[in-house]
């Protein structure tokens, strides 16, 4: 399973990259705003800065909701850096834009996916990634991991090439559940990744090893 980090925070991206396990980055307009990145010029240069830190795919989201606008913005974003993946919303024009970019060999990530039907459409449109928002389903007492399982089953039934990018990951157990079900990629905040490191027996064991070593020195 590939590990993407879901943030526009450059320090968090660097920390995950330094760990040596980072495969890419996802962002969205809310994550950009959270870091105080506003205005087209600043947003574009922030995407470039992210691409310079990581080696893998970096999702950059269009703001337009009409086909023409999405194509125009998507082309501008794609021209920024070869690592940029155009993130498109799961709406009618988003599907059309996805088909347009797929036919041109430009990578896409269809976002705001909450149902198996939407995931089928994204795959039919040739999306590189489909992003089911698992945490947001859990937030409304729905079953995020259940959706992930259904998409995995459907995609495997037909050998769709679209990679399932489990998004809206909130904590470490989400990451483990994604791996169990077989997400191709998970994208989560830094703490959901660092949480995988933690086990009290590791800390206790290391403390004892060091204490025993020091007895003999
Ligand atoms: O980047 C999209 C998605 O991961 C957002 O997550 O936590 O705002 O539901 P969240």
* pLDDT digit string, tens, across residues 169-178: 999 999 999 9
Q: Please choose from 25, 28, 129 the residue to mutate so as to test ligand 1's pocket, defined by most ligand atoms within 8 A of CB.
A: 28
**What pLDDT is attached to residue 216?**
78
* 70 touches 94 (CB < 8 A): yes
Ligand 1 site, residue 26, Cβ cutoff 6 A: yes
- Given a cut of 80, whether residue 217 has pLDDT beyond it is no
Average pLDDT over residues 62-87: 98
Distance 174 CA to ligand 1 centre (A): 13
Percent of the chain predicted with pLDDT > 70: 100
Scored b (16 or more CB within 10 A) or e, 121-136 reads bbbebbbbbbbbbbbe
Q: pTM for the whole thing?
A: 0.96
Q: Which atom belonging to ligand 1 lies closest to the Cα atom of 131? A: 2
């Amino acid at each position: 399973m590939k590990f993407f980090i879901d943030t526009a925070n450059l320090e968090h991206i660097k920390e995950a990259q330094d760990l040596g396990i980072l495969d890419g980055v996802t962002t969205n307009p809310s994550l950009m705003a959270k870091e105080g990145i506003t205005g087209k010029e600043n947003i574009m240069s922030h995407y470039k800065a992210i691409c310079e830190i990581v080696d893998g795919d970096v999702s950059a989201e269009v703001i337009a909701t009409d086909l023409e606008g999405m194509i125009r913005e998507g082309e501008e974003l794609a021209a920024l850096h070869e690592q940029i993946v155009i993130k498109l919303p799961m709406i009618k024009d988003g599907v059309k834009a996805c088909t347009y970019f797929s036919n041109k060999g430009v990578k896409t990530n269809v976002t705001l996916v909450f149902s198996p039907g939407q995931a089928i459409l994204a795959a039919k449109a040739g999306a590189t990634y489909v992003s089911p928002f698992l945490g947001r389903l859990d937030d409304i007492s729905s079953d995020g991991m259940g959706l992930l399982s259904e998409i995995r089953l459907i995609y495997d039934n037909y050998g769709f090439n679209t990679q399932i990018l489990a998004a809206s990951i909130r904590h470490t157990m989400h990451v483990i559940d994604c791996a169990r079900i077989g997400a191709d990629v998970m994208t989560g905040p830094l703490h959901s990744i660092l949480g995988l490191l933690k086990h009290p027996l590791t800390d206790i064991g290391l403390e004892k090893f060091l204490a025993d070593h020091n007895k003999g020195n």
